[in-house]
A and B are shown apart, each in its own frame.
Chain A
């Protein structure tokens, strides 16, 4: 098989969509936070918490969907902590975000070691099984790629569609977007900017956590240290790349995942001539390149990273 043929195989696109799923959740989560005016650098840690919380719920006997809900709630609580410090208190979103990532990650590792002191290899759970949609999954390549995935992947696409619909078609979405562009205008409507921003960060963080949970409950079947491996930071780049629009961000995530799936296959083709680390670097290099490409014409939310105080101009 040569490098071009890969692109026309169903397994490649199935893998691409699978790799995209956690990124879609987390990218939508970050996008919601940023559209409301809050940069959430807690994303990497919140994804770690979600990955562990979901997996551990199932490991302790809960069913898979309970695990997803627990992961979302765990993410939302770290979102609440982040929002409390950055929204009403107006602390630096950079410092608090990094702090949340450090706290969430270390608390997860602490809990893991406490709950499973003696294990040497990570215990496994029975993850979500693929759920082919009858009929649609029979379509060659496209059908297989999109409609023979696990329920969580469908949920990821659903979350993206819902994010777009809420942001652009509902009063709540309008308030969220306005909170990130012109908070004073929101306040003038009698809506609390603080409330909107806290809510947005909590919902966004819940999505990030479900993105993490996808890794332990759908892509793999166990939790291990450093498993998020920079995916959160990549999602922040994807939000910029998608110009803060859900549709573009979704496309960006799929494009990115396709590239990631492609480099793995290319790596196998190359037969070890090129060091494998070069291939592993690609996603990070690509993220930086994507940022550089769009930076000049990026129209970021006007009030991003600017704390809002009622009655202040």
Chain B
């Protein structure tokens, strides 16, 4: 049994493969729904309705997509250069910590000046957090997968320590939560009275900017070259370690923006449940988007829709909302398999 490259096919046929991946995911999810004693069709209808069936649902999906766009971009950028950043979760929390430290009255500046300063500092912190594992990788050859994964646990404990110590809200009735941000540090809502905030716009701008960086700049070219074949890149005179460091700074900064946007735009303070695994879902988002920065936006909205829709469905149909996590993970595995078969065929001999 071996894999053989296929002759090129028209785009229309190539699109069938991702569609087959989605279909396979739905079939698998249907089995689980049947096991839960519900009807797949009514459950999927409820998920779709919960994700996009009303203005409220749609806005909720876009709100949930916002952090996923940031973490998805962070992963897409890193994976493109084959820097395995599995630590977007930690970088997100560090961004959130910086937002709370600077946004609760320390800097008494007007909003138009304060917000960019906070966002920038959050990015620096996230970048610094990933610079550590990247340095260990380039200087000592330590695998960054394990170090970034372990940092997720360390940072979450660090945040827990801050929330029970220096950052604890004295009026919080003992709950481990930070003080509320001052008004000037809050990202405004896009529509009055709705939850969707300007973090979403910032996410769209970031996606566009990253697309430009990846496609139109030398850095983007170098990142792709390093990801494609580090030896060849080095031979071609590309400073591989330098490119990996720049990639790490960019990736960590993007993930930290997710924390900034969630605290400043949505929650208003920091708690330990700020992120229900946005960092890990970002990996799925990036892979579904085939690491394309613009694709990340659509993949993030799709993944967010599944989560928001499943929450709504779970309340009415009684199927555990964890089905959303199962679907997202299945979609990741079926999608990478489908993309392989769009380029290769299996030969049995």
Interface residues in chain A, defined as those with a beta carbon under 8 Å from any beta carbon in chain B = 41, 81, 85, 88-92, 94-96, 98-100, 102-103, 105-107, 109-110, 113-114, 117, 194, 229-230, 233-234, 236-237, 240, 275, 277-278, 280-281, 284-285, 287-288, 291-292, 295-296, 298, 309-311
Docked CA distance A310–B2 (Å): 7
B239 CB-CB contact with A under 8 Å: no
Q: Of all chain B residues, which has the CB nearest A232?
A: B149
Docked CA distance A92–B337 (Å): 10
**Looking at the complex, which one of A85, A105, A240 makes contact with B146 (CB distance below 8 Å)?**
A240
Docked CA distance A307–B323 (Å): 32
B280 CB-CB contact with A under 8 Å: yes
Docked CA distance A267–B11 (Å): 61
Q: For A88, what are the chain B residues with a Cβ–Cβ distance below 8 Å?
A: 1
Q: Of all chain B residues, which has the CB nearest A278?
A: B161
**Looking at the complex, which one of B84, B140, B330 makes contact with A103 (CB distance below 8 Å)?**
B330
Docked CA distance A85–B287 (Å): 15
A229 touches B153 (CB 8 A): yes
Interface centre among A99, A103, A229 (most CB of B within 10 A): A99
Q: For B149, what are the chain A residues with a Cβ–Cβ distance below 8 Å?
A: 230, 233
B333 CB-CB contact with A under 8 Å: yes
Interface residues in chain B, defined as those with a beta carbon under 8 Å from any beta carbon in chain A = 1-3, 32, 35-36, 84, 86, 136, 140-143, 145-147, 149-154, 157-158, 160-161, 164-165, 280, 283-284, 287, 318, 320, 322-323, 325-326, 328-330, 332-333, 336-337, 340
Q: Is the interface of A mostly helix, strand, loop or mixed?
A: helix
A106-B332 contact given A90-B3, A236-B146, CB 8 Å threshold: no
B1 touches A287 (CB 8 A): no
Smallest Cβ distance from A7 to chain B, in angstroms? Answer: 25
Docked CA distance A264–B233 (Å): 48
**Looking at the complex, which one of B36, B329, B340 makes contact with A106 (CB distance below 8 Å)?**
B329
Docked CA distance A298–B329 (Å): 33
Smallest Cβ distance from A191 to chain B, in angstroms? Answer: 15
Known: A233-B149, A288-B142, A295-B141. 9 other contacts (CB 8 A): A95-B332, A107-B326, A114-B36, A284-B157, A288-B136, A288-B146, A291-B136, A291-B147, A296-B140
A103 touches B280 (CB 8 A): no
Q: For B283, what are the chain A residues with a Cβ–Cβ distance below 8 Å?
A: 95, 98
B150 touches A284 (CB 8 A): yes
Smallest Cβ distance from B147 to chain A, in angstroms? Answer: 6
Q: For B160, what are the chain A residues with a Cβ–Cβ distance below 8 Å?
A: 277
Q: For B150, what are the chain A residues with a Cβ–Cβ distance below 8 Å?
A: 230, 233-234, 237, 284, 287-288
A295-B329 contact given A281-B158, A288-B147, A309-B2, CB 8 Å threshold: no
Docked CA distance A117–B329 (Å): 22
List 16 A-B residue pairs with CB atoms under 8 Å apart, sorted by A's residue number.
A81-B333, A98-B332, A102-B284, A106-B325, A106-B326, A107-B326, A110-B320, A110-B326, A275-B164, A277-B160, A277-B161, A277-B164, A284-B151, A285-B154, A287-B150, A296-B140
B325 touches A102 (CB 8 A): yes
Interface centre among B141, B143, B150 (most CB of A within 10 A): B150
Docked CA distance A98–B283 (Å): 9
A99 touches B2 (CB 8 A): no
**Looking at the complex, which one of B136, B142, B145, B340 makes contact with A89 (CB distance below 8 Å)?**
B340
A102 touches B328 (CB 8 A): yes
B143 touches A240 (CB 8 A): yes
B147 touches A113 (CB 8 A): no
**Looking at the complex, which one of A89, A110, A288, A310 makes contact with B322 (CB distance below 8 Å)?**
A110
Q: For A98, what are the chain B residues with a Cβ–Cβ distance below 8 Å?
A: 86, 280, 283, 332
Q: For B3, what are the chain A residues with a Cβ–Cβ distance below 8 Å?
A: 89-90, 309
**Looking at the complex, which one of B32, B147, B157, B325 makes contact with A281 (CB distance below 8 Å)?**
B157
B336 touches A92 (CB 8 A): yes
A280 touches B332 (CB 8 A): no
A99 touches B332 (CB 8 A): yes
Q: For B36, what are the chain A residues with a Cβ–Cβ distance below 8 Å?
A: 114
B2 touches A311 (CB 8 A): yes
A233-B146 contact given A94-B84, A277-B158, CB 8 Å threshold: yes
Q: For B35, what are the chain A residues with a Cβ–Cβ distance below 8 Å?
A: 114
Smallest Cβ distance from A98 to chain B, in angstroms? Answer: 6
A95-B2 contact given A110-B326, A291-B147, CB 8 Å threshold: no
Docked CA distance A61–B185 (Å): 56
A99-B1 contact given A41-B145, A240-B143, A288-B147, CB 8 Å threshold: no
Smallest Cβ distance from A57 to chain B, in angstroms? Answer: 18
A237 touches B146 (CB 8 A): yes
Docked CA distance A99–B21 (Å): 14
